Chains A and B, each alone.
Chain A
Amino acid sequence: KNEVEQSPQNLTAQEGEFITINCSYSVGISALHWLQQHPGGGIVSLFMLSSGKKKHGRLIATINIQEKHSSLHITASHPRDSAVYICAVRGQGAQKLVFGQGTRLTINP
Protein backbone atom coordinates (compact mmCIF):
# COMPACT_ATOMS: atom_id res chain seq x y z
CA LYS A 1 0.00 0.00 0.00
CA ASN A 2 1.41 3.38 -1.00
CA GLU A 3 2.00 5.91 1.73
CA VAL A 4 -0.05 8.45 -0.22
CA GLU A 5 -3.21 7.44 -2.06
CA GLN A 6 -5.23 9.75 -4.28
CA SER A 7 -8.74 9.29 -5.59
CA PRO A 8 -10.04 9.32 -8.16
CA GLN A 9 -7.18 8.60 -10.55
CA ASN A 10 -9.11 10.20 -13.41
CA LEU A 11 -11.97 12.66 -13.30
CA THR A 12 -13.93 14.19 -16.17
CA ALA A 13 -16.50 16.89 -15.50
CA GLN A 14 -18.43 19.65 -17.23
CA GLU A 15 -17.51 23.28 -16.94
CA GLY A 16 -19.03 24.82 -13.83
CA GLU A 17 -19.11 21.66 -11.74
CA PHE A 18 -17.76 21.47 -8.21
CA ILE A 19 -14.71 19.21 -8.13
CA THR A 20 -13.29 17.23 -5.21
CA ILE A 21 -10.02 15.32 -5.25
CA ASN A 22 -9.05 13.25 -2.23
CA CYS A 23 -5.74 12.33 -0.66
CA SER A 24 -5.17 9.82 2.15
CA TYR A 25 -1.85 9.14 3.80
CA SER A 26 -0.60 6.64 6.31
CA VAL A 27 2.19 8.40 8.21
CA GLY A 28 2.44 11.29 10.63
CA ILE A 29 3.20 14.43 8.68
CA SER A 30 4.56 17.90 9.17
CA ALA A 31 2.98 19.26 5.98
CA LEU A 32 0.85 18.24 3.01
CA HIS A 33 1.28 19.77 -0.42
CA TRP A 34 -1.07 20.06 -3.38
CA LEU A 35 0.63 20.53 -6.72
CA GLN A 36 -0.64 21.14 -10.25
CA GLN A 37 0.90 19.86 -13.47
CA HIS A 38 -0.45 20.99 -16.82
CA PRO A 39 -0.01 18.74 -19.88
CA GLY A 40 3.58 18.93 -21.04
CA GLY A 41 4.26 21.51 -18.38
CA GLY A 42 6.08 21.99 -15.19
CA ILE A 43 4.85 21.47 -11.65
CA VAL A 44 3.47 24.30 -9.57
CA SER A 45 2.81 24.30 -5.84
CA LEU A 46 -0.81 25.24 -5.09
CA PHE A 47 -1.06 24.78 -1.35
CA MET A 48 0.91 23.66 1.60
CA LEU A 49 -0.99 23.00 4.80
CA SER A 50 -0.55 21.32 8.13
CA SER A 51 -3.99 21.98 9.58
CA GLY A 52 -7.39 23.42 8.74
CA LYS A 53 -8.19 24.96 5.42
CA LYS A 54 -6.68 27.27 2.81
CA LYS A 55 -8.35 29.09 -0.05
CA HIS A 56 -6.90 30.68 -3.17
CA GLY A 57 -9.38 31.95 -5.72
CA ARG A 58 -11.60 29.03 -6.73
CA LEU A 59 -9.37 26.45 -5.08
CA ILE A 60 -9.85 25.25 -1.52
CA ALA A 61 -7.69 22.72 0.32
CA THR A 62 -8.64 21.09 3.60
CA ILE A 63 -6.86 18.67 5.86
CA ASN A 64 -8.00 16.44 8.73
CA ILE A 65 -4.91 15.40 10.64
CA GLN A 66 -6.71 12.88 12.84
CA GLU A 67 -8.18 11.08 9.82
CA LYS A 68 -4.98 11.49 7.75
CA HIS A 69 -7.00 12.88 4.86
CA SER A 70 -6.98 15.97 2.67
CA SER A 71 -9.26 17.23 -0.06
CA LEU A 72 -8.75 19.69 -2.89
CA HIS A 73 -11.90 21.41 -4.09
CA ILE A 74 -12.39 23.48 -7.23
CA THR A 75 -15.49 25.63 -7.43
CA ALA A 76 -17.00 26.75 -10.76
CA SER A 77 -14.55 24.55 -12.68
CA HIS A 78 -13.18 25.77 -16.01
CA PRO A 79 -11.42 23.99 -18.89
CA ARG A 80 -8.19 25.74 -17.90
CA ASP A 81 -8.33 23.76 -14.63
CA SER A 82 -7.62 20.61 -16.66
CA ALA A 83 -4.37 19.25 -15.28
CA VAL A 84 -2.90 16.55 -13.08
CA TYR A 85 -3.26 17.35 -9.38
CA ILE A 86 -0.67 15.80 -7.11
CA CYS A 87 -0.77 15.32 -3.35
CA ALA A 88 2.52 15.02 -1.46
CA VAL A 89 3.35 14.70 2.22
CA ARG A 90 6.41 15.49 4.26
CA GLY A 91 6.81 13.12 7.19
CA GLN A 92 7.55 14.45 10.64
CA GLY A 93 11.24 15.28 10.82
CA ALA A 94 11.74 14.30 7.19
CA GLN A 95 13.30 16.36 4.45
CA LYS A 96 11.78 14.37 1.63
CA LEU A 97 8.33 14.50 0.11
CA VAL A 98 6.34 11.37 -0.70
CA PHE A 99 4.04 11.80 -3.68
CA GLY A 100 0.70 10.36 -4.66
CA GLN A 101 0.20 9.09 -8.20
CA GLY A 102 -1.82 12.13 -9.19
CA THR A 103 -5.40 12.75 -10.33
CA ARG A 104 -5.93 13.62 -13.98
CA LEU A 105 -8.74 16.19 -14.19
CA THR A 106 -10.43 17.06 -17.48
CA ILE A 107 -13.02 19.83 -17.60
CA ASN A 108 -15.09 19.87 -20.76
CA PRO A 109 -16.67 23.11 -22.02
Chain B
Amino acid sequence: NAGVTQTPKFQVLKTGQSMTLQCAQDMNHNSMYWYRQDPGMGLRLIYYSASEGTTDKGEVPNGYNVSRLNKREFSLRLESAAPSQTSVYFCASSEWVPTQPQHFGDGTRLSIL
Protein backbone atom coordinates (compact mmCIF):
# COMPACT_ATOMS: atom_id res chain seq x y z
CA ASN B 1 0.00 0.00 0.00
CA ALA B 2 1.90 3.06 -1.27
CA GLY B 3 -0.33 5.74 0.30
CA VAL B 4 0.48 9.13 -1.23
CA THR B 5 3.16 9.19 -3.93
CA GLN B 6 4.78 12.41 -5.12
CA THR B 7 7.07 12.87 -8.08
CA PRO B 8 9.71 14.12 -8.51
CA LYS B 9 11.47 14.11 -5.14
CA PHE B 10 13.94 16.82 -6.13
CA GLN B 11 13.99 19.40 -8.91
CA VAL B 12 16.05 22.43 -9.83
CA LEU B 13 14.55 24.97 -12.20
CA LYS B 14 15.62 28.25 -13.69
CA THR B 15 13.48 31.34 -13.21
CA GLY B 16 10.71 31.39 -15.78
CA GLN B 17 10.64 27.66 -16.43
CA SER B 18 7.48 25.68 -15.89
CA MET B 19 6.91 22.30 -14.32
CA THR B 20 4.24 20.07 -12.89
CA LEU B 21 4.44 18.24 -9.59
CA GLN B 22 2.53 14.99 -9.60
CA CYS B 23 0.62 13.40 -6.73
CA ALA B 24 -1.32 10.15 -6.58
CA GLN B 25 -3.06 8.36 -3.72
CA ASP B 26 -4.32 4.80 -3.56
CA MET B 27 -6.55 5.09 -0.48
CA ASN B 28 -9.70 6.08 -2.37
CA HIS B 29 -9.75 9.41 -0.56
CA ASN B 30 -12.05 12.13 -1.76
CA SER B 31 -9.98 15.13 -0.71
CA MET B 32 -6.46 16.10 -1.76
CA TYR B 33 -4.21 19.02 -0.84
CA TRP B 34 -1.03 20.78 -1.88
CA TYR B 35 1.10 22.51 0.77
CA ARG B 36 4.39 24.31 0.79
CA GLN B 37 6.78 24.29 3.74
CA ASP B 38 9.33 27.05 4.21
CA PRO B 39 11.91 27.46 7.00
CA GLY B 40 10.43 29.08 10.10
CA MET B 41 6.89 28.82 8.81
CA GLY B 42 4.22 26.22 9.22
CA LEU B 43 2.75 24.28 6.35
CA ARG B 44 0.71 26.58 4.14
CA LEU B 45 -2.10 25.39 1.93
CA ILE B 46 -1.73 26.25 -1.74
CA TYR B 47 -4.79 24.57 -3.25
CA TYR B 48 -7.09 21.77 -2.30
CA SER B 49 -9.67 19.55 -3.93
CA ALA B 50 -12.51 18.53 -1.68
CA SER B 51 -13.73 15.97 -4.18
CA GLU B 52 -13.13 14.87 -7.75
CA GLY B 53 -14.02 17.70 -10.12
CA THR B 54 -13.57 20.54 -7.63
CA THR B 55 -10.60 22.68 -6.68
CA ASP B 56 -10.31 25.66 -4.34
CA LYS B 57 -7.65 28.17 -3.44
CA GLY B 58 -5.86 27.92 -0.16
CA GLU B 59 -3.74 30.42 1.69
CA VAL B 60 -1.01 30.99 -0.93
CA PRO B 61 -2.35 30.17 -4.43
CA ASN B 62 -0.63 32.89 -6.48
CA GLY B 63 1.73 31.51 -9.11
CA TYR B 64 0.24 28.03 -9.04
CA ASN B 65 -2.44 26.07 -10.83
CA VAL B 66 -3.86 22.65 -10.03
CA SER B 67 -5.70 19.86 -11.81
CA ARG B 68 -7.69 17.10 -10.18
CA LEU B 69 -7.21 14.63 -13.01
CA ASN B 70 -9.31 11.89 -11.40
CA LYS B 71 -10.01 10.66 -7.90
CA ARG B 72 -6.44 9.38 -7.51
CA GLU B 73 -4.38 12.20 -8.97
CA PHE B 74 -3.91 15.88 -8.12
CA SER B 75 -1.19 17.84 -9.89
CA LEU B 76 0.38 21.22 -9.09
CA ARG B 77 1.76 23.38 -11.88
CA LEU B 78 4.16 26.28 -11.75
CA GLU B 79 3.68 28.18 -14.99
CA SER B 80 6.63 30.56 -14.63
CA ALA B 81 8.80 29.62 -11.70
CA ALA B 82 10.16 32.34 -9.42
CA PRO B 83 12.87 32.12 -6.73
CA SER B 84 10.16 32.80 -4.10
CA GLN B 85 8.68 29.43 -4.99
CA THR B 86 11.76 27.61 -3.74
CA SER B 87 10.28 25.36 -1.09
CA VAL B 88 9.41 21.84 -0.09
CA TYR B 89 6.02 20.83 -1.46
CA PHE B 90 3.80 18.24 0.16
CA CYS B 91 0.74 16.56 -1.20
CA ALA B 92 -1.81 15.06 1.19
CA SER B 93 -5.12 13.26 1.03
CA SER B 94 -7.98 12.54 3.41
CA GLU B 95 -11.61 11.66 3.63
CA TRP B 96 -14.07 14.54 3.72
CA VAL B 97 -14.70 13.91 7.40
CA PRO B 98 -13.42 16.21 10.15
CA THR B 99 -12.26 13.31 12.29
CA GLN B 100 -10.08 11.65 9.67
CA PRO B 101 -6.35 12.33 9.44
CA GLN B 102 -4.51 13.61 6.40
CA HIS B 103 -1.94 11.32 4.83
CA PHE B 104 1.14 13.03 3.43
CA GLY B 105 3.52 12.22 0.63
CA ASP B 106 7.29 12.36 1.14
CA GLY B 107 7.60 15.84 -0.34
CA THR B 108 9.24 17.44 -3.37
CA ARG B 109 12.24 19.68 -2.74
CA LEU B 110 12.13 22.39 -5.40
CA SER B 111 14.85 24.98 -6.00
CA ILE B 112 14.38 27.89 -8.37
CA LEU B 113 17.59 29.62 -9.45
Contacts and interface: CB of A to CB of B under 8 A. Distances in A.
Contacts, number: 54
B48 A101 contact: no
A21 B14 CA distance: 40
A42 interface: yes
Q: Chain A, interface size: which category?
A: 20 to 34
Interface stretch (A11-19, A57-65, A73-81, A89-97): A89-97
- Secondary structure at chain A's binding surface: helix, strand, loop or mixed? strand
A101 B107 CA distance: 17
Interface in B82-112: 90, 92, 96, 98-107
Given A43-B90, A102-B42, A97 B102 contact: yes
A44 B4 CA distance: 11
Contacts of A90: 98
A21 to B, nearest CB: 14
B25 to A, nearest CB: 13
A43 B104 contact: yes
Q: Which 5 A-B pairs have the closest CB atoms?
A: A99-B42, A30-B98, A45-B101, A43-B104, A42-B106
Interface of A: 2, 4, 30-31, 33, 35, 41-45, 48, 50, 86, 88, 90, 94-97, 99-102
